Chain A
Amino acid sequence: MTVHNLYIFDRNGTCLHYSEWNRKKQAGISKEEEYKLMYGMLFSIRSFVNCRKDGFMSFHTSRYKLHYYETPTGIKLVMNTDLGVQNCRDTLQQIYSTLYVEYIVKNPLCVLGESLQSDLFNSKLDSFIRALPFFNIRAA
């Protein structure tokens, strides 16, 4: 099992953060293009799903699974993992509450709504993800 990558978007579609761990295929377009495509897809899926209370939570293809979590303020966390990973809602919620809120929102020098420049946040996130029980491929 493994984690491929993670996107954080704000409610206007700005990609606040992107990081990747085990990603073998690159998109072949610029990262900015990729963020736009990703956000556009999520946006469409949300309006498409829009019926159940929790809304859109995840989808999977034959090779990977995309997990989605959105806060009432419109912060969107997107994590791609392989198919062996079960529900990641708690994990994404923890990234929001213990990392994003703690190191970004509570840091007055971090401008909200712009790409995040905090090294502290990046390193905390990296160690958080690496410590996840399903991060390591060999653990499977």
Chain B
Amino acid sequence: MSRQSNRTTDSKKMNSELFTLTYGALVTQLCKDYENDEEVNKQLDKMGYNIGVRLIEDFLARSSVGRCQDFRETADVIAKVAFKMYLGVTPSVTNWSPAGDEFSLILESNPLVDFVELPDNHSNLVYSSLLCGVLKGALEMVQMAVDVRFAQDTLRGDSVTEIRMKFIKRIEENVPAGDE
């Protein structure tokens, strides 16, 4: 019992600069490896996805969050618990669509871009695409297919960073194959 409680209270803190700089090195390397920005965005998204499908397990083990009843609750958990836990920021949740299937996360500051200035020849690079992949991968593991993209980015001259999330569908659970 004591092991569990110790673990949840002092989650290992790490220097966010190390993280930010490592991420920067990753993006830089991808820009060297691929010819165009779209391809770099795609690779970052894919890596993020692979991180997300594992990160969700860590998240659920650390927080006592259960299954969300609706998308609004999901939005709250992402903004207030998950972003806080992993990036140390709390984005605000706004711009709900009337149907309640779309919302925006507004980031006052994005820890990934602390030391970044985009050169002119990378105008199509979505520097923090990794985050989209992480969100997609993690939500897919809890049976939610969601479309995630950057609607605004301070790196590209917008006043805030906005991640737009759109609920696509519930992923139905697989019935075990055969053997009736």
Q: Which residues of A contact B (CB under 8 A)?
A: 11-13, 36, 39-40, 43, 71-75, 90, 93-94, 96-98, 100-101, 105-106, 112
Question: Are A97 and B174 CB-contacts (below 8 A) given A73-B56, A105-B57?
Answer: no
Main DSSP-derived SS at the A contact region: helix
Chain B residues 31 to 77 lying within 8 A of chain A, measured CB to CB, are: 53-54, 56-58, 60-62, 65-68
A106 touches B141 (CB 8 A): no
Asked if B4 is at the interface of the complex by the 8 Å CB criterion, the answer is yes
A97 touches B176 (CB 8 A): no
B174 touches A72 (CB 8 A): no
B67 touches A97 (CB 8 A): no
Interface size on B, residues (CB 8 A): 25
Kindly provide the distance from the CB of B86 to the nearest chain A CB, expressed in whole angstroms. Answer: 14
Instruction: Return the chain A residue nearest B142 by Cβ.
Output: A72
B179 touches A11 (CB 8 A): no
Asked if B13 is at the interface of the complex by the 8 Å CB criterion, the answer is no
A74 touches B173 (CB 8 A): yes
B58 touches A105 (CB 8 A): yes
Asked if B175 is at the interface of the complex by the 8 Å CB criterion, the answer is yes
A40 touches B60 (CB 8 A): no
* B residues in contact with A106, CB < 8 Å: 54, 58
B57 touches A101 (CB 8 A): yes
Kindly provide the distance from the CB of A81 to the nearest chain B CB, expressed in whole angstroms. Answer: 18
| Highest count of chain A CB atoms <10 Å: which of B57, B175, B179 | B57
Chain B residues 51 to 107 lying within 8 A of chain A, measured CB to CB, are: 53-54, 56-58, 60-62, 65-68
A97 touches B56 (CB 8 A): no
* A residues in contact with B1, CB < 8 Å: 90, 94
Question: Are A36 and B7 CB-contacts (below 8 A) given A73-B60, A73-B141, A106-B54?
Answer: no
A-B contact pairs, 14 of them (CB 8 A): A13-B174, A71-B57, A71-B60, A72-B60, A72-B142, A74-B173, A94-B3, A98-B4, A98-B7, A100-B57, A101-B61, A105-B54, A105-B57, A105-B58
B174 touches A11 (CB 8 A): yes
B58 touches A101 (CB 8 A): yes
A36 touches B142 (CB 8 A): no
> Complex Cα distance A74/B65, Å?
14
Kindly provide the distance from the CB of B11 to the nearest chain A CB, expressed in whole angstroms. Answer: 12
* B residues in contact with A43, CB < 8 Å: 175-176
A39 touches B176 (CB 8 A): yes
Instruction: Return the chain A residue nearest B54 by Cβ.
Output: A105
